Protein backbone atom coordinates (compact mmCIF):
# COMPACT_ATOMS: atom_id res chain seq x y z
CA UNK A 1 0.00 0.00 0.00
CA UNK A 2 1.29 3.40 -0.95
CA UNK A 3 0.72 6.72 0.75
CA UNK A 4 -0.34 8.33 -2.55
CA UNK A 5 -3.24 5.87 -2.83
CA UNK A 6 -4.56 6.93 0.59
CA UNK A 7 -4.02 10.62 -0.16
CA UNK A 8 -6.02 10.14 -3.38
CA UNK A 9 -8.93 8.90 -1.24
CA UNK A 10 -8.80 12.23 0.57
CA UNK A 11 -8.24 10.74 4.03
CA UNK A 12 -6.75 12.96 6.72
CA UNK A 13 -2.99 12.89 7.24
CA UNK A 14 -3.36 11.63 10.81
CA UNK A 15 -5.46 8.67 9.64
CA UNK A 16 -2.99 8.03 6.80
CA UNK A 17 -0.15 7.90 9.34
CA UNK A 18 -2.01 5.34 11.47
CA UNK A 19 -2.88 3.17 8.48
CA UNK A 20 0.73 3.33 7.22
CA UNK A 21 2.09 2.37 10.69
CA UNK A 22 -0.23 -0.63 10.88
CA UNK A 23 0.66 -1.62 7.35
CA UNK A 24 4.38 -1.38 8.24
CA UNK A 25 3.91 -3.73 11.25
CA UNK A 26 2.11 -6.30 9.13
CA UNK A 27 4.70 -6.00 6.40
CA UNK A 28 7.59 -6.51 8.87
CA UNK A 29 5.91 -9.60 10.37
CA UNK A 30 5.48 -11.09 6.89
CA UNK A 31 9.07 -10.25 5.99
CA UNK A 32 10.29 -12.00 9.16
CA UNK A 33 8.24 -15.09 8.25
CA UNK A 34 9.71 -15.02 4.76
CA UNK A 35 13.27 -14.78 6.11
CA UNK A 36 12.66 -17.71 8.46
CA UNK A 37 11.20 -19.76 5.60
CA UNK A 38 14.25 -18.93 3.46
CA UNK A 39 16.60 -19.93 6.32
CA UNK A 40 14.71 -23.22 6.72
CA UNK A 41 14.94 -23.76 2.96
CA UNK A 42 18.72 -23.21 3.05
CA UNK A 43 19.02 -25.57 6.04
CA UNK A 44 17.05 -28.26 4.19
CA UNK A 45 19.18 -27.74 1.10
CA UNK A 46 22.31 -28.30 3.23
CA UNK A 47 20.82 -31.44 4.77
CA UNK A 48 19.88 -32.70 1.32
CA UNK A 49 23.41 -32.15 0.02
CA UNK A 50 24.86 -33.94 3.07
CA UNK A 51 22.47 -36.85 2.60
CA UNK A 52 23.35 -37.03 -1.10
CA UNK A 53 27.05 -37.08 -0.21
CA UNK A 54 26.51 -39.88 2.33
CA UNK A 55 24.46 -41.87 -0.18
CA UNK A 56 27.20 -41.41 -2.76
CA UNK A 57 29.55 -43.31 -0.44
CA UNK A 58 27.23 -46.31 -0.60
CA UNK A 59 26.71 -46.12 -4.35
CA UNK A 60 29.16 -48.94 -5.06
CA UNK A 61 28.40 -50.88 -1.87
CA UNK A 62 27.58 -54.56 -2.20
CA UNK A 63 24.78 -55.52 0.21
CA UNK A 64 25.85 -59.17 0.20
CA UNK A 65 29.40 -58.27 1.23
CA UNK A 66 28.05 -55.96 3.90
CA UNK A 67 25.85 -58.75 5.26
CA UNK A 68 28.85 -61.12 5.28
CA UNK A 69 30.83 -58.54 7.22
CA UNK A 70 27.96 -58.06 9.67
CA UNK A 71 27.65 -61.83 10.15
CA UNK A 72 31.41 -62.18 10.66
CA UNK A 73 31.41 -59.38 13.23
CA UNK A 74 28.44 -60.91 15.04
CA UNK A 75 30.25 -64.26 15.19
CA UNK A 76 33.38 -62.57 16.55
CA UNK A 77 31.31 -60.81 19.17
CA UNK A 78 29.68 -64.09 20.14
CA UNK A 79 33.12 -65.72 20.54
CA UNK A 80 34.33 -62.83 22.69
CA UNK A 81 31.24 -63.16 24.88
CA UNK A 82 31.86 -66.89 25.28
CA UNK A 83 35.52 -66.28 26.15
CA UNK A 84 34.49 -63.65 28.69
CA UNK A 85 31.98 -66.02 30.29
CA UNK A 86 34.61 -68.81 30.42
CA UNK A 87 37.12 -66.46 32.06
CA UNK A 88 34.49 -65.33 34.54
CA UNK A 89 33.56 -68.93 35.42
CA UNK A 90 37.26 -69.84 35.78
CA UNK A 91 37.87 -66.87 38.08
CA UNK A 92 34.87 -67.78 40.24
CA UNK A 93 36.03 -71.42 40.41
CA UNK A 94 39.57 -70.41 41.41
CA UNK A 95 38.23 -68.07 44.10
CA UNK A 96 36.07 -70.93 45.41
CA UNK A 97 39.13 -73.23 45.58
CA UNK A 98 41.21 -70.52 47.30
CA UNK A 99 38.48 -69.94 49.88
CA UNK A 100 38.25 -73.70 50.52
CA UNK A 101 42.04 -73.92 50.97
CA UNK A 102 41.99 -71.02 53.43
CA UNK A 103 39.08 -72.58 55.33
CA UNK A 104 40.92 -75.90 55.62
CA UNK A 105 44.02 -74.17 57.01
CA UNK A 106 46.29 -74.28 53.96
CA UNK A 107 49.63 -72.59 54.53
CA UNK A 108 50.52 -71.98 50.88
CA UNK A 109 47.71 -71.58 48.35
CA UNK A 110 49.86 -72.24 45.28
CA UNK A 111 51.44 -75.38 46.74
CA UNK A 112 48.07 -76.85 47.72
CA UNK A 113 46.55 -75.96 44.32
CA UNK A 114 49.45 -77.73 42.60
CA UNK A 115 48.44 -80.93 44.44
CA UNK A 116 44.81 -80.72 43.25
CA UNK A 117 43.45 -81.99 39.93
CA UNK A 118 41.95 -78.64 38.93
CA UNK A 119 40.53 -79.83 35.58
CA UNK A 120 38.65 -82.72 37.20
CA UNK A 121 37.28 -80.41 39.88
CA UNK A 122 36.09 -77.91 37.23
CA UNK A 123 34.14 -80.66 35.45
CA UNK A 124 32.60 -81.88 38.71
CA UNK A 125 28.84 -81.62 39.16
CA UNK A 126 29.10 -80.96 42.90
CA UNK A 127 32.21 -78.80 43.04
CA UNK A 128 31.95 -77.66 46.63
CA UNK A 129 31.88 -81.19 48.10
CA UNK A 130 34.46 -82.51 45.63
CA UNK A 131 36.86 -79.66 46.43
CA UNK A 132 36.50 -80.39 50.14
CA UNK A 133 37.12 -84.12 49.56
CA UNK A 134 40.17 -83.40 47.39
CA UNK A 135 41.58 -81.06 50.05
CA UNK A 136 41.07 -83.73 52.70
CA UNK A 137 43.06 -86.19 50.53
CA UNK A 138 45.88 -83.69 50.05
CA UNK A 139 45.83 -82.91 53.77
CA UNK A 140 46.06 -86.61 54.64
CA UNK A 141 49.11 -87.15 52.41
CA UNK A 142 50.76 -83.72 52.82
CA UNK A 143 49.82 -82.46 56.27
CA UNK A 144 52.82 -80.12 56.32
CA UNK A 145 50.96 -77.89 53.82
CA UNK A 146 48.23 -77.23 56.38
CA UNK A 147 48.09 -75.67 59.82
CA UNK A 148 47.87 -78.24 62.58
CA UNK A 149 44.65 -78.64 64.55
CA UNK A 150 46.51 -80.29 67.45
CA UNK A 151 47.64 -78.40 70.52
CA UNK A 152 51.29 -77.36 70.67
CA UNK A 153 53.55 -80.40 71.32
CA UNK A 154 56.52 -78.44 72.58
CA UNK A 155 55.47 -76.78 75.79
CA UNK A 156 57.61 -74.07 77.25
CA UNK A 157 58.01 -73.79 80.98
CA UNK A 158 58.00 -76.32 83.80
CA UNK A 159 56.37 -79.68 83.14
CA UNK A 160 57.30 -81.66 86.20
CA UNK A 161 56.88 -81.28 89.92
CA UNK A 162 59.17 -79.37 92.21
CA UNK A 163 59.88 -75.82 92.23
CA UNK A 164 60.56 -73.78 89.15
CA UNK A 165 63.76 -71.85 89.51
CA UNK A 166 64.17 -71.33 85.76
CA UNK A 167 66.76 -74.14 85.51
CA UNK A 168 69.19 -72.53 87.96
CA UNK A 169 69.41 -75.66 90.20
CA UNK A 170 70.34 -77.83 87.22
CA UNK A 171 72.97 -75.33 86.21
CA UNK A 172 74.39 -75.23 89.75
CA UNK A 173 74.48 -79.04 89.88
CA UNK A 174 76.29 -79.16 86.53
CA UNK A 175 78.94 -76.82 87.91
CA UNK A 176 79.29 -78.83 91.06
CA UNK A 177 77.80 -76.17 93.33
CA UNK A 178 75.36 -77.00 96.15
CA UNK A 179 71.64 -76.18 95.81
CA UNK A 180 70.66 -72.72 96.83
CA UNK A 181 68.11 -72.59 99.57
Where is pLDDT greater, at 84 or 149? Answer: 84
Residue 39 has pLDDT above 90, yes or no: yes
How sure is the predictor about 155, in pLDDT bands with cuts at 50, 70 and 90? low
Give per-residue pLDDT as tens, 78-137. Answer: 999 999 999 999 999 899 999 999 888 888 888 988 888 888 888 888 888 888 899 988
* Residue-wise burial string across 19-34, b where 16 or more C-beta atoms lie within 10 A, e elsewhere: eeeeeeeeeeeeeeee
Q: How many residues does the chain have?
A: 181
Tally of CA atoms within 13 A in the half-sphere of 152 that contains its CB = 4
User: Is residue 66 pLDDT above 90, yes or no?
Assistant: no
| Torsion, Cα of 142, 144, 150, 153 (10° steps) | 130
Residues sharing a CB contact under 8 Å with residue 107, sequence separation 6 or more, in sequence order: 144, 145, 146, 147
Which residue ranges make up each domain of the chain?
Answer: 3-57, 63-145
Which H/E stretch holds residue 62? Answer: none
Rounded Cα distance between 166 and 170, Å, is: 9
pTM, whole model, 2 decimals? Answer: 0.46
Amino acid sequence: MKREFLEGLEIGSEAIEKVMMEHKKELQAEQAKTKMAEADRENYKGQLETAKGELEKFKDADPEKMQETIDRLKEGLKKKDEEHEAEKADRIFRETVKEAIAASGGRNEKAVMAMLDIDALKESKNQKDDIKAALDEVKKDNDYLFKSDEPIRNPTGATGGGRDDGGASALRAAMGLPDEK
